[in-house]
Structures are given as C-alpha cells and as structure tokens.
Amino acid sequence: MNILGHLSWGAIYFASEWIIRLVMLIVVPFRRSPEAAKGWLLFVFFLPWPALLLYHVIGRPNYPRWRRERFAKLPAAFAQVTARIGALSACQEPELPGNLQQAATLIQNLGRFPTMDGNDIALLSSYDGSVARLVADIDGATNHVHLLYYIFADDRTGWSVIDALARAVERGVTCRVLIDALGSRAWAPRVVAALAERGVAVHLVLPVGLLRRKSARADLRNHRKIAVIDGRIGYVGSQNIVDADFKPGIVNQELVVRVTGPVVQELQGVFVADWFMETQQVLESHELFPELPRTGNAVAQVLPSGPDYPEASVGRLIEALVHGARRRVVITTPYFIPSEALLNALSTATLRGVEVHLVLSKPVDQILVSLAQRSYYSQLLAAGVRIHLYRDKLLHAKHLSVDRRVSLIGSSNVDMRSFVLNSEVSLIVFDRDVNAELRAEQERYFATSEELSLETWRARPMTSKVIENIARLVSPLL
C-alpha cells in the first residue's frame, strides 16, 4: 500500500510538471517579447515548479494594481502643469536631416514632453567634480531642492549632500528627496533618518516586503537620477549619490549633465510625477515651474520611460536612432543585453557603411550579466561593430551619439531591465556643439580601452564560450 501511495504521489507530481509546462506555453507568450518568452519557457521546461513560483513573483512587468490606479489619476492631477509646459514659447522642433526626422518624430510621440529650445548643456565627467557642483547649486538654492536617486548612501559623498540639504532647510528652502528602496537598501534607514531629522521631506520609492500593504515587486525599480534646484537647474545622468569606490575593488566612471533653460521644467515634471506616485501630493506651484529664460542654444527633450510608460520604450528609441544613422553611432553602457531588434539594427547599420562603436567596461560588477553580454560579441564583431573595453574603471556612464546631430544621455542601460522593468529618464539633445563635446568624451574612452578583434575573441577557451552561451539563454530575464 505504501509503495502504491508513493507511486501515486510521484505520478501526481510528474503530471503537475507537464500541466505547468502546457499552461505556461499558452500564458507566457502573451504580451512578452519573443526573447523573454523563450527564456521563460526554457526555464519552465527544465524546472517547472521553481519557474512557476518565480513567474508569479516577477513574470509580468507590471506594477501592483494600487500603483496603476494611482498612475491613471496622474494626467488629471497634472493637467495644468502639462498645459503650462506645452504652451512655453521655447517649444521648438529640432532642425534635422531627413534621415533623422523620423527618429525625432518617434521621440515626440513616445514622450509626454515637447522639444525645448534655449538650453545650456554642460557635461560633467569628473566624479567628485559633479558632486561638488551639485552641492554648490544646493547651497545657492533659494526656494526648493528636489532629488530623486536610485542609490543614496550615507558615506562621504552622501553626507556632503545631506549637509548641503540641511543648510538649505535652515535658510527656509523646501527640500524633497525620493530614494529607491531596494537600490539604497544598505543605507536607506540611516539616510532617511538623517534627512528627516534635518527637516527634509523624504520617501522611499517602491518599498518591498511581504508584510507591506502596498509593497512593490523587487525587480521593478526606479532607476532614475534627477536633481532639480529652484526649477532652474537640473541634473540627469548615470551617477548616484555614493562614493565612486562603494563596491570593493571597483571605481566607477560616470557622466552627468547639468542643464539650465526651459527643458529643466520637464525634469521637474518627472520628479513631481514620481512624488505624486509615492505621496499622492500634487506639486504645481509657480515657484516649481517658473518662467525660464534662454540660457543657451541647445534643443533638448526629456524622455521618461518604464512600466508606467509602456509605450515610451527607450529601447525602441535607440533602435530608431541606429536605423537613422548615416555616419557614426557610439553606444556607451555598462550592461549590454540587446534585443534581437537592436542587434539587427546594429548589423544593418554597418552594412550601410555606418561606423558603429560599442563602449563597454572591462571591470565588471555583475558576473552573470557580464557572461551573457560576452556571448553577443562574436556576432557583433563579425557584423563589423567595433567593441571597446574600458580598462581602468567600471564605466557606468550611459549615453549614445548619432552622426553629429543627436545625443542621448541618462540613466538607462542597454539591456532588457532598463528597456522594460526599470523607471528611467533620458535627455535627448539636438545640438552639434553638445554632440562634439560628447564625441570628445567618447574618444577619451577609446584611448583608455582595449579594442577586441574577431580573431582573438574567437580563440578564447571553449569553456568560456559554453558558459557565456548558457548565460545568454537567461539573458532576457536579467
């Protein structure tokens, strides 16, 4: 009887695994990319029950219902802000050659904001220098300071910003801070306490936890890095508020944009929308959105992306810009897990005679992601893409330049996480001078990089190839 019972339970378990496989074969492909569907189905085939449990937790790139309902209220809550930004005289279409006009139209349709003329764009590549500049601007604030960061630590860099915010509060400046709960988990309790004690309004973004009534999925994060001072100065880019060497044995190299001019109102719009999502408080006073004079000649636009904006995919934008390129494309990213569409765009660009460069980091901080991205190198090199591995530091900067006309700088990596799961922000700049400055920065990367050759890369050990290609199988899930 015991043997029969044992056989019955074994048969039940065997049948349950096949039921899971068959059901997931129907469920998984709905509203997922082919790459992600293949990754999940492979996982389900080999480990049905673990795959089912993980899929229940992170299988859909959707926020909880409470957050989706709150986001649905956003257009009405910020109707006046949206109308004010859209009515600015600085709204102006960029002057672009025909091959890039469709990409510009795509940006306009993807984003919630128009292109703005009259901006001054400064690229900050010095890690400590960008922190010092931010602290100086906070010290000059007279009305408000808004910060939104994925990582906010209580190390030397973090305390320099905390102290600046405390000085601002003492002057009567309103300071608001949003910090991603998971990205800053190692420091969040101490940072939140320190800021609150100094009179700063601070909230954790997308808190996680089994007992939280309104917890969020651990893999859906707010990865943006934004600072807005007095509604007149903005910062956006790849750098968090943390020491450059916060990971043992690794030093980060970043790129940050300091911007003044009308487009700052769009960065402000992203912040106040995220503030509403966490607090349901509407921020729309005149002091937050002041009349901004021209400070330069650059035309620029802010593009927020993420699960809240499923149609505004930064991945789709990068693909369009690569397709529109005629001379040169340079993509800089620390994490490179491309979609099939982007791989095809890069390969097609080289066949059209476009010079395509991919700048990645030789030092790595995420082993599985590194293994997966290495599996794409042979295909890219064979297609004519030039791959540069930055040697000295973890190149954490995230930007793209197309021909001499379009630059994209922000928080988004070139991977499926940034394209689908994370909330990101990008600044698109249509300006020859800014593009030339970004190209100069990219040339400095080239000079400090090791360029891969197809022959050398193909000669690496077979064990490396096998491990990398196994990692590639799960790359759509990374």
On whether residue 189 sits in a domain, the answer given is yes
What is the predicted pLDDT for the residue at 375? 94
Query: Are 75 and 185 within one domain?
Result: yes
Q: What is the pLDDT of residues 104-137, one digit of tens each?
A: 778 777 777 889 999 999 999 999 999 999 999 9
Residue 305 DSSP SS3: strand
Which residue, among 123, 124, 182, 128, has the nearest Cα to 155 in the 3D structure? 128
What is the predicted pLDDT for the residue at 470? 85
The domain in which residue 35 lies consists of 2-58
Q: What is the dihedral of CA 436, 148, 192, 204, to 10 degrees?
A: -140
Q: How far is Cα 127 from Cα 98, in angstroms, rounded to an integer?
A: 37
What is the predicted pLDDT for the residue at 210? 58
Query: Are 129 and 275 within one domain?
Result: yes
The residues, ordered by sequence, that sit 6+ positions from 46 with a Cβ below 8 Å of its Cβ are: none
pLDDT category, 327, cuts 50, 70, 90?
very high
On whether residue 104 sits in a domain, the answer given is no
Q: Which residue reads 């290495």 in tokens?
A: 374
Query: Are 134 and 232 within one domain?
Result: yes
Q: CB of 289 within 8 A of CB of 431?
A: no
On whether residue 422 sits in a domain, the answer given is yes
pLDDT category, 217, cuts 50, 70, 90?
low
On whether residue 287 sits in a domain, the answer given is yes
Query: Are 470 and 439 within one domain?
Result: yes
Q: What is the pLDDT of residues 374-430, one digit of tens each?
A: 999 999 999 999 999 999 899 999 999 999 999 999 999 999 888 888 999 999 999
Query: Are 169 and 229 within one domain?
Result: yes
What is the predicted pLDDT for the residue at 173? 98
Q: How far is Cα 379 from Cα 324, in angstroms, rounded to an integer?
A: 21
Query: Are 289 and 321 within one domain?
Result: no
Q: How far is Cα 57 from Cα 278, in angstroms, rounded to an integer?
A: 22
Q: Using the 8-state DSSP alphabet, how is residue 423 labeled?
A: B
Q: How far is Cα 408 from Cα 430, in angstroms, rounded to an integer?
A: 9
Q: What is the pLDDT of residues 33-71, one digit of tens each?
A: 666 777 778 888 888 888 778 776 666 666 667 777 887
Q: How far is Cα 351 from Cα 345, in angstroms, rounded to an integer?
A: 10
Query: Are 246 and 347 within one domain?
Result: no
On whether residue 109 sits in a domain, the answer given is no
Q: How far is Cα 472 from Cα 368, in angstroms, rounded to an integer?
A: 9
Q: Using the 8-state DSSP alphabet, how is residue 220 labeled?
A: -
Least confident piece of the model among 105-119, 213-227, 273-287, 358-372 = 213-227
Residue 46 backbone dihedrals phi, psi, to 5 degrees: -85, -35
Which residue, among 324, 327, 360, 314, has the nearest Cα to 345 in the 3D structure? 324
Rg (C-alpha) for the chain, rounded Å, is: 23
Residue 405, judged by CB atoms within 10 A of its CB (0-12, 13-18, 19+), counts as buried
Least confident piece of the model among 14-28, 233-247, 338-352 = 14-28
Query: Is residue 310 scored above 70 in pLDDT?
Result: no
The domain spanning residue 328 has which CATH number?
3.30.870.10
Query: Is residue 313 scored above 60 in pLDDT?
Result: yes
Q: CB of 380 within 8 A of CB of 445?
A: no
Angle at Cα 170 formed by Cα 169 and Cα 171, nearest 5°?
Answer: 90
What are the structure tokens assigned to 25, written together? 């074969």
Structurally, how many domains does the chain consist of? 3
What is the predicted pLDDT for the residue at 42? 80
Q: CB of 388 within 8 A of CB of 451?
A: yes
Query: Are 247 and 354 within one domain?
Result: no
Q: How far is Cα 171 from Cα 381, in angstroms, rounded to an integer?
A: 56
Query: Are 285 and 334 within one domain?
Result: no
What's the mean per-residue pLDDT of the chain?
89
Query: Are 276 and 351 within one domain?
Result: no
pLDDT category, 2, cuts 50, 70, 90?
low
Residue 438 backbone dihedrals phi, psi, to 5 degrees: -65, -40
Q: Pick the more confident residue, 213 or 358.
A: 358
Percentage of the chain beyond pLDDT 70 is: 91
Q: How far is CA 13 from CA 17, 18, 25, 44, 216, in A?
A: 6, 9, 18, 15, 32
Residue 348 backbone dihedrals phi, psi, to 5 degrees: -65, -40
Query: Are 287 and 152 within one domain?
Result: yes
Q: How far is Cα 346 from Cα 322, in angstroms, rounded to an integer?
A: 7
What is the predicted pLDDT for the residue at 430? 95
Which residue, among 257, 393, 409, 247, has the nearest Cα to 330 in the 3D structure? 409
Percentage of the chain beyond pLDDT 90 is: 64
On whether residue 410 sits in a domain, the answer given is yes
Least confident piece of the model among 59-63, 220-224, 383-387, 432-436 = 59-63
Which residue, among 187, 125, 183, has the nearest Cα to 437 in the 3D structure? 125
Query: Are 150 and 280 within one domain?
Result: yes
Q: What is the pLDDT of residues 258-285, one digit of tens each?
A: 999 999 999 999 999 999 998 989 988 8
Query: Is residue 31 scored above 70 in pLDDT?
Result: no
Whether the model clears a pTM of 0.75, i.e. scores above it, the answer is: yes
Single residue among 300, 334, 369 that ends a domain in this structure: 300
pLDDT category, 325, cuts 50, 70, 90?
very high
One DSSP character per residue, 124-177 reads E--HHHHHHHHHHHHHT-SSEEEEEES-B-SSHHHHHHHHHHHHHHHTT-EEEE
pLDDT category, 103, cuts 50, 70, 90?
confident
Neighbours of 391 (CB within 10 A): 13
Q: CB of 175 within 8 A of CB of 201?
A: yes
On whether residue 101 sits in a domain, the answer given is no
On whether residue 107 sits in a domain, the answer given is no
